[in-house]
Chains A and B, each alone.
Chain A
Amino acid sequence: MRIRRIQATLVRAFALIVVMTIVLLGAVSLNFFRKTLVDAAEQSTMQFAAQLSRVVDNYISYMNDIALVVMDDEDVRSYMAAPAASVARDRSRIGQFLGSIRKVRKDIDGVFLVPGRAAEGPSLDVLPAFVIASSPGEGVNPDYDFGRLAKKVGATSSGDNPFVSSAHVENMVDGRYPWVISLVREFKGKDGAALGYIQVDLNYAIIEDLCKSIQLGSSGYVFILDASGDIVYHPRQQLVYGNLKTERIGELLGLHEGFLTSVVDGRDILYTAKPSERTGWIIVVVSYLSELLSESRRALYTFMLLAILCFAVSVLVSSFVSVRISRPIEALRRSMQEVEKGNFDMDITVECSNEVYQLARDCDIALKKVRDLIEQNRKEGEQKRILELRALQAQINPHFLYNTLDSIIWMIELGENQGAIDVTSSLARFFRLGISKGSEIITIRTEIEYIETYLSIQKTRYKSKLDYEVAFQPELYGCRILKLLVQPLVENAIYHGIKNKESPGLVRVIGAMEEGAMAIRVIDDGVGMDQGRLEALRSSLAEPLGFDALAGTDPSSGGVGVRNVQERVILYFGQGYGLSFDSSPGIGTTATIRIPLVLEADP
């Protein structure tokens, strides 16, 4: 399993949670915001359209009112009833009346009375002469197609409802081609007979200015369709006719009132359609959603910036937190690695104040316990070693005493009283020197005295058969050694080397410094050992001899002394020190003790 760092995991998790939260929240709230904005935009464009349609309706009502006022005029009624009977003065008076209306209201481009249809009415070819226009100075266009007008009005005007034209060029006045919207009413006599028409023209520029004045963002605009889908007003009317610009006229006509969205040149467009009641025209407000929704985009940007800020903060915070968490764990881990290496001698301290601290403290306590256990173990081992050593030491004292007493008995039997006296006094001195004292560790100097005393006792016994020599480097005199370490070897040399030899033998005890340690050699020129015995001795030394193994053996037997020495050296000085033997049959045996140099001052 791949080990993942706590920190990386934490940072990742934090960042993921934050990003997900922001994205989700952002998407939901932006969507909501956008919807609200679209609703608001729709509402406001619909208000525009409704306002515009009311204005258009107002103009139409107002034109109708003018028509009704003119139709109510007594002179006008009598003229329309019998135009042929009128005189020029009557016509000029009515013309001035119509002209005054036009003068007062600049938005009215013209008012026309067209007699006809009545029995006394003029025929179509002489009609222009009887038409009264609101601009008396200019004549009526003799080429004006009155038939077409009559047809239009007849087809669309029913009862009291006037006919309202789309925007068109009015050519009724000779030489003038104004753009107007015409309202045409049937002129009825008292008896309800049709006497002709009255036409009121509204200056188209009014509608145009109205539509142009509406500002919808930088590219929004308004256009107006009539009931049949022809364009009443469009800011780019020529482009629409030239198919350079297309509007979804068919759909808008079908929609009648409401909203339509479309995409033009990659921009979302909102069409808002509202019909005008009196004209049946459809006012269409075209607005660009991108402009209406600029707020939403600003919100989006702000949101994205906030999201990034939150993300950065979350990364920082999570990395800080994870450092706070993982650093003590890391410190704890390093401490435990040290412990793994075997270094128990350390305090586990972690600078923090949470569970990891408690864990570290627990670890520290456990380590201390382990340390205590090790210490206890060591102490117990030491104790055991001391006990073993004491036991071994205790063995050596009686062993030496038996041997010496043996010699004394032997001398007395032979009547060598002087010798017995000497040996006994030597023994007394020996013991006085401290063999029975508690101290296990003595100086080389003291040990040399032991050896020499012992050898002198043996010399008494063996006379000329034993020669000896004790030589230690003077530097070693102050060094410490375990009591009676050398004596058993000397004893061995005499008993196993010299005793069985025909000729006199020499035992030499030589102490020297070798390679920073002390080497004490006991060299005899006795019978020596064959290879088999030497190997057996060596292997018995190599065996770890416990105290128990020694306990059961007879202390007087030869091997015991050697093993005792070996065991005591190892117990006291540790592995790496101890005894070694060299021997050749007929030549002699050399026993070597290697112990560390321990100066007197050392404990």
Chain B
Amino acid sequence: MRDRGVFIMIAVALAAALLIAIAYREDSGRPRGMDKVVAIFKTSGTANAFWESVSEGVESGAQDFGFDVTFRSPRDEIYVDEQMAIVRSAIAERPAAIVLAASDFHQLVGPVREAKAEGIKVVCVDSFIETEDADAKIGTDNFEAGQKCGAALLRLLPQGSRVAVMSYVQGSSTAIGRETGLRDSLGDRLEVTGTSYSSSDERIAYEQAKAILAHEPALAGIAALNLPTTLGAARALQESGRQGKIALVVFDSSPEVLRLMERGVIQDAIVQKPFNMGYISMETVRALLSGKKPKPYTNTGSVDVDKANMFDPENQKLLFPVSGP
């Protein structure tokens, strides 16, 4: 009996020692391998300020939440097939998660489902797919952003003024969201002449704006729903000499847009928060991988920027890249 007692005590001591050794191993440093995440955007960050900001957010988040992130993007937004191929090759690498900005609302559903079938978490940023296959969605509420755009026009223009809506891709989910939000807030207080689609091409937007300006002598405002369209419209407006007389309210910012805003060509810009999109996507991936259920949709929000507040401290970081041109 006494031997059993001693045995039990020794056994307990050994077990405790083992537990401590294990705990020590777990505790010392970070032995677990970092989870691999592949981020696939519409186009690479080096070519586009918006995606560069998203990438920065992703990198910051990866650092904070411990991920090994690789970025893969097609040459341009229009190469949907290329993006689908990139998603499929990423699946073959079996990362823990894929962060995806879907170039196409419909066509990326298949690749997303394939990734899910392989047990890979998928988080959509900025642009989503039509089904609910992704584990989470993070992006701007474009309807709300459109409403802000409308509110800016209402602030700038007297009731009953005529405004033109210059959109980019017909059928694009973000474009539809922005336009419906815009029209919703305008109601019948301003008169919308019609909607043009620039295919996200600055040159086409320029031509379209020129035509609108020529045909609409009473035009009081233009809403440009994305960056290339904005730049085209602004160029046409400056050439027409009616800058400052016609209110130009736009989406997204770039140094050029901000310069035009200083010049008084652009009155108001609705700016998204791409850095936050990227960062929150990493936060969401961490939650998914630790078995928690994140919010299915996170609205990263947008900011209404004009000449008066563009240099406010909280807007400067959003508008001006630190290592700018």
Residue of B nearest to A233 (CB): B322
Chain B residues lying within 8 Å of A311, measured Cβ to Cβ, are 9, 13
Known: A8-B2, A237-B317. A301 touches B24 (CB 8 A): yes
- The A-contacting residues of B in range 277-297, CB under 8 angstroms, are 279-280
Residue of A nearest to B255 (CB): A177
What is the bound-complex CA distance between A5 and B5, given in angstroms? 12
Chain A residues lying within 8 Å of B314, measured Cβ to Cβ, are 241
Cβ-defined partner of A238 (8 Å) among B14, B23, B273:
B273
Q: Per-residue CB proximity of A164-176 to B under 8 Å, as 1/0? A: 0010110100111
Q: Per-residue CB proximity of A254-280 to B under 8 Å, as 1/0? A: 000000000000000000000000000
Task: Say whether B226 faces chain A, with CB atoms less than 8 Å apart.
Answer: no
Known: A177-B258, A315-B10. A168 touches B311 (CB 8 A): yes
Chain B residues lying within 8 Å of A171, measured Cβ to Cβ, are 262, 311
- The B-contacting residues of A in range 1-49, CB under 8 angstroms, are 5, 7-8, 11, 15
Chain B residues lying within 8 Å of A294, measured Cβ to Cβ, are 28
Residue of A nearest to B6 (CB): A319
What is the bound-complex CA distance between A218 and B34, given in angstroms? 14
How extensive is the interface on chain A, given as a class? Answer: 35 or more
For residue A49, give the distance in angstroms from its CB to the closest CB of chain B. 22
Whether A143 pairs with B276 at a CB distance below 8 angstroms is no
Whether A205 pairs with B323 at a CB distance below 8 angstroms is yes
Chain A residues lying within 8 Å of B85, measured Cβ to Cβ, are none
Cβ-defined partner of B320 (8 Å) among A175, A177, A219, A244:
A177
For residue A445, give the distance in angstroms from its CB to the closest CB of chain B. 67
Task: Say whether A208 faces chain B, with CB atoms less than 8 Å apart.
Answer: yes
- The B-contacting residues of A in range 190-227, CB under 8 angstroms, are 204-205, 208, 218-219
What is the bound-complex CA distance between A208 and B322, given in angstroms? 9
Whether B20 pairs with A244 at a CB distance below 8 angstroms is no
Residue of B nearest to A234 (CB): B317
Task: Say whether A378 faces chain B, with CB atoms less than 8 Å apart.
Answer: no
User: Is the contact region of chain B dominated by helix, strand, or loop, or is it mixed?
Assistant: helix
Q: Which of B13, B21, B23, B24 has the most C-beta atoms of chain A within 10 angstroms of its own C-beta?
A: B13
Whether B20 pairs with A304 at a CB distance below 8 angstroms is yes
Known: A177-B258, A208-B322, A315-B13. A169 touches B311 (CB 8 A): yes
Task: Say whether A68 faces chain B, with CB atoms less than 8 Å apart.
Answer: no
Task: Say whether A231 faces chain B, with CB atoms less than 8 Å apart.
Answer: yes
Cβ-defined partner of A308 (8 Å) among B2, B16, B28, B325:
B16
Known: A168-B316, A205-B322. A315 touches B273 (CB 8 A): no
Whether A305 pairs with B317 at a CB distance below 8 angstroms is no
What is the bound-complex CA distance between A231 and B322, given in angstroms? 14
Chain B residues lying within 8 Å of A316, measured Cβ to Cβ, are 6, 10
What is the bound-complex CA distance between A208 and B301, given in angstroms? 27
Whether B13 pairs with A175 at a CB distance below 8 angstroms is no
What is the bound-complex CA distance between A244 and B52, given in angstroms? 20
Whether B322 pairs with A143 at a CB distance below 8 angstroms is no
Task: Say whether B259 faces chain A, with CB atoms less than 8 Å apart.
Answer: yes
Known: A208-B322, A238-B275. A15 touches B313 (CB 8 A): no
Q: Which of A177, A218, A305, A309 has the most C-beta atoms of chain B within 10 angstroms of its own C-beta?
A: A177
For residue B198, give the distance in angstroms from its CB to the closest CB of chain A. 25
Chain A residues lying within 8 Å of B320, measured Cβ to Cβ, are 169, 177, 179
Q: Per-residue CB proximity of A456-492 to B under 8 Å, as 1/0? A: 0000000000000000000000000000000000000
Task: Say whether A339 faces chain B, with CB atoms less than 8 Å apart.
Answer: no
Whether A312 pairs with B10 at a CB distance below 8 angstroms is yes
Chain A residues lying within 8 Å of B27, measured Cβ to Cβ, are 297, 301
Residue of B nearest to A311 (CB): B13
Residue of B nearest to A15 (CB): B9
Task: Say whether A136 faces chain B, with CB atoms less than 8 Å apart.
Answer: no
For residue B301, give the distance in angstroms from its CB to the closest CB of chain A. 8
For residue B2, give the distance in angstroms from its CB to the closest CB of chain A. 5
Chain A residues lying within 8 Å of B10, measured Cβ to Cβ, are 312, 315-316
What is the bound-complex CA distance between A179 and B64, given in angstroms? 25
Whether B322 pairs with A235 at a CB distance below 8 angstroms is no
Chain B residues lying within 8 Å of A141, measured Cβ to Cβ, are 262
Whether B259 pairs with A312 at a CB distance below 8 angstroms is no
What is the bound-complex CA distance between A231 and B255, given in angstroms? 22
Task: Say whether A433 faces chain B, with CB atoms less than 8 Å apart.
Answer: no
Whether B5 pairs with A235 at a CB distance below 8 angstroms is no
What is the bound-complex CA distance between A312 and B16, given in angstroms? 11
For residue B12, give the distance in angstroms from its CB to the closest CB of chain A. 9
Task: Say whether B196 faces chain A, with CB atoms less than 8 Å apart.
Answer: no
Task: Say whether A139 faces chain B, with CB atoms less than 8 Å apart.
Answer: no
Residue of A nearest to B314 (CB): A241
Residue of A nearest to B3 (CB): A319
Task: Say whether B263 faces chain A, with CB atoms less than 8 Å apart.
Answer: yes
Task: Say whether A236 faces chain B, with CB atoms less than 8 Å apart.
Answer: yes
Task: Say whether A603 faces chain B, with CB atoms less than 8 Å apart.
Answer: no
Whether B311 pairs with A8 at a CB distance below 8 angstroms is no
Known: A11-B9, A178-B324, A316-B10. A241 touches B317 (CB 8 A): yes
Whether A244 pairs with B313 at a CB distance below 8 angstroms is no
What is the bound-complex CA distance between A8 and B314, given in angstroms? 72
Task: Say whether B264 faces chain A, with CB atoms less than 8 Å apart.
Answer: yes
What is the bound-complex CA distance between A241 and B263, given in angstroms? 27
What is the bound-complex CA distance between A178 and B321, given in angstroms? 9
Task: Say whether B107 faces chain A, with CB atoms less than 8 Å apart.
Answer: no
Q: Per-residue CB proximity of B63-101 to A under 8 Å, as 1/0? A: 010000000000000000000000000000000000000
What is the bound-complex CA distance between A305 and B25, given in angstroms? 13
Chain A residues lying within 8 Å of B300, measured Cβ to Cβ, are 242
What is the bound-complex CA distance between A205 and B320, given in angstroms? 13
Chain B residues lying within 8 Å of A236, measured Cβ to Cβ, are 60, 64, 279
What is the bound-complex CA distance between A208 and B323, given in angstroms? 10
Task: Say whether A230 faces chain B, with CB atoms less than 8 Å apart.
Answer: yes
Chain A residues lying within 8 Å of B28, measured Cβ to Cβ, are 294, 298
Q: List 19 A-B contacts (CB under 8 A).
A: A5-B2, A169-B311, A171-B262, A174-B259, A175-B255, A177-B258, A177-B324, A205-B322, A205-B323, A218-B30, A236-B60, A238-B275, A238-B317, A244-B279, A298-B28, A304-B20, A305-B20, A305-B21, A311-B9
Beyond the given A179-B320, A304-B16, A304-B20, could you list 15 further A-B residue pairs with CB under 8 A, ordered by the A residue number? A171-B262, A174-B259, A175-B259, A177-B258, A177-B320, A178-B324, A205-B322, A236-B60, A241-B317, A242-B300, A244-B280, A298-B24, A301-B24, A308-B14, A312-B10
* B contact residues vs A (CB 8 Å cutoff): 2, 5-6, 9-10, 13-14, 16-17, 20-21, 23-24, 27-28, 30, 57, 60, 64, 255, 258-259, 262-264, 273, 275-276, 279-280, 300-301, 311, 313-314, 316-320, 322-325
Interchain residue pairs A-B with the least CB separation, the first 3: A312-B13, A301-B24, A238-B275
